[in-house]
Amino acid sequence: MIDLRLLRRDIDAIAERLAVRGFALDVARFREIEERRRRFQTETERLQHERNIASRRIGKAKAAGEDIAPLVAAVGELGSALDAVKVRAEAAQAELADFALAVPNVPDGDVPAGEDESANAELGRWGEPSAFNFDPLDHVALGGAQIDTAAAARMSGARFSVLRGPVASLHRALTQFMLDMHTGEHGYEEVYVPYIVGRDAMTGTGQLPKFEDDLFAVGQDGMYLIPTAEVPVTNLVRESILGEDELPLKFVAHTPCFRSEAGSYGKDTHGLIRQHQFEKVELVQIVAPEQSEQALEELTAHAEAVLKRLELPYRTMLLCGGDLGFSAARTVDLEVWLPGQNRYREISSCSNFRDFQARRMMARYREGERGTVEYVHTINGSGLAVGRTLIAVLENGQDGEGVVHVPDALRDYLGGTTRLDLRGRTDGQAA
């Protein structure tokens, strides 16, 4: 949630910065709500003061043997007026909170303006796009019957898949490889988290109220399937005050992710690119504010290390305002090269949310033993999206005859297999 003090201090400057992401802040509405809130607060304080004075008069009059009935009646009237004003003050405060919940995070100063991904800024590249002496297949044609969307459609509808045989094994191997790398080499604590969460958890990380149409609701109890492990993992610090010595916290979790993709029908419907159910290995860091810029660089490097180890060419992109997620102040996307599409595609978004999510979750830390209590900063990113990594390994490793080269880093996870024969066989011989 945006810090209301920023809006009160210089709302025009905040509105100008939010325009970078294409968001039109309703300055007039904020000022009207804020003016009401202040007026009711001032009236509340005035009535409280008058009631306190009147109450003291009752004590003095009683001690002097005077009739206190008129004074008691006056205090009662002041109390009734105070209760009425408090109701209006609380309503104005609630309206202000609802207003703030709908305002996205303020982009960092170096986030470029732009409406969509075409304005994103390339920061760098690693590796060269694969060169083939044949026309490379995309993952659907390459996987054949082992990527079975027809069977999935019969039981679940569009945008689901069944993985079979070596493709399913590769998917499992990628997941375990990523978890082992992030826990063993990068210092993350692995966590297993619920796949169903309540409305408060979704609101805490910014999925609600704005993106309700993109979520899968469960029953009538305000519960939702998680769209990303970011939600339950970040909410581990919900409504808590951490010690400064507990930071940074670094978590990694493997979960399925469920998204209705309400606004994306007609886009990326081919194969595994955009599914209602997919899996990710998610990285989350909870840090002190002065650590957050470094933490984003570190987390991004950890996601990049997976791509490098898997020998997958990629590029890094700084997202423009129009492509920035609702809760993010800054996002660096990693885009992997997919020969079957002859283009780079997003495989990880690494974001610094500053204190935006922490304010919504009331996630704080104390500076020193008796220091002030401040909001933590939250950072997260995919390390990586498993399905898209599967696509990249298949398409970049193909040999033109239905066989896929297995990167060295994955061979131990596949029983020493060096090649996957997607025509129905695996070859475990040494490369």
Please give the full DSSP string across 355-372, using - where no structure is assigned.
Answer: THHHHHHTEEEESTTT--
pLDDT on residue 265: 54
Dihedral sign (CA 319, 316, 330, 188): positive
pLDDT on residue 1: 87
- From the centroid of its chain, how far is CA 66? 66
Radius of gyration for the chain, computed over Cα atoms and rounded to the nearest angstrom: 28
SS3 170: helix
Measure the CA angle with vertex 286, ends 284 and 287; round to 5°.
Answer: 135
Altogether, the residues listed in the chain come to a count of: 431
Q: What is the pLDDT along the chain (431 residues), one digit of tens a residue?
A: 899 999 999 999 999 999 999 999 999 999 999 999 999 999 999 998 988 888 888 888 888 888 888 888 888 888 899 999 999 999 999 999 999 999 999 999 999 999 999 999 999 999 999 889 999 999 999 999 999 999 999 999 999 999 999 999 999 999 999 999 999 999 999 999 999 999 999 999 999 998 999 999 998 789 999 999 999 999 999 999 999 999 999 999 999 999 997 655 556 778 899 999 999 999 999 999 999 999 999 999 999 999 999 999 999 999 999 999 999 999 999 999 999 999 999 999 999 999 999 999 999 999 987 889 999 999 999 999 999 999 999 999 999 999 999 999 999 999 999 999 998 544 444 33
pLDDT on residue 62: 84
pLDDT on residue 369: 79
Which is nearest to 327 in space by CA: 226, 224, 427, 234?
Answer: 234
Give catalytic residues, as residue numbers.
Answer: 259, 274, 346, 349, 388
Q: C-alpha distances in angstroms, 66 versus 61, 71, 80, 175, 241?
A: 5, 10, 24, 83, 53
Q: C-alpha distances in angstroms, 424 versus 7, 151, 271?
A: 61, 18, 19
Please name the residue ranges forming H helices in 273-355: 292-309
Round to whole Å and give the CA distance between 32 and 208: 25
Which is nearest to 143 in space by CA: 412, 395, 405?
Answer: 395
Residues 6+ apart with CB under 8 A from 267: 274
Residues 6+ apart with CB under 8 A from 271: 138, 139, 140, 147, 149, 161, 391
Beta-strand relationship, 189-190 and 249-258: parallel
Which is nearest to 122 in space by CA: 404, 317, 395?
Answer: 317
pLDDT on residue 264: 53
pLDDT on residue 263: 55
Q: Yes or no: say if 263 and 224 are a contact pair by the CB < 8 Å rule.
A: no
pLDDT on residue 267: 63
The residues pairing with 223 across neighbouring beta strands, listed in sequence order, are 198, 218
pTM: 0.91
Q: Yes or no: say if 227 and 250 are a contact pair by the CB < 8 Å rule.
A: no
Q: Yes or no: say if 121 and 397 are a contact pair by the CB < 8 Å rule.
A: no
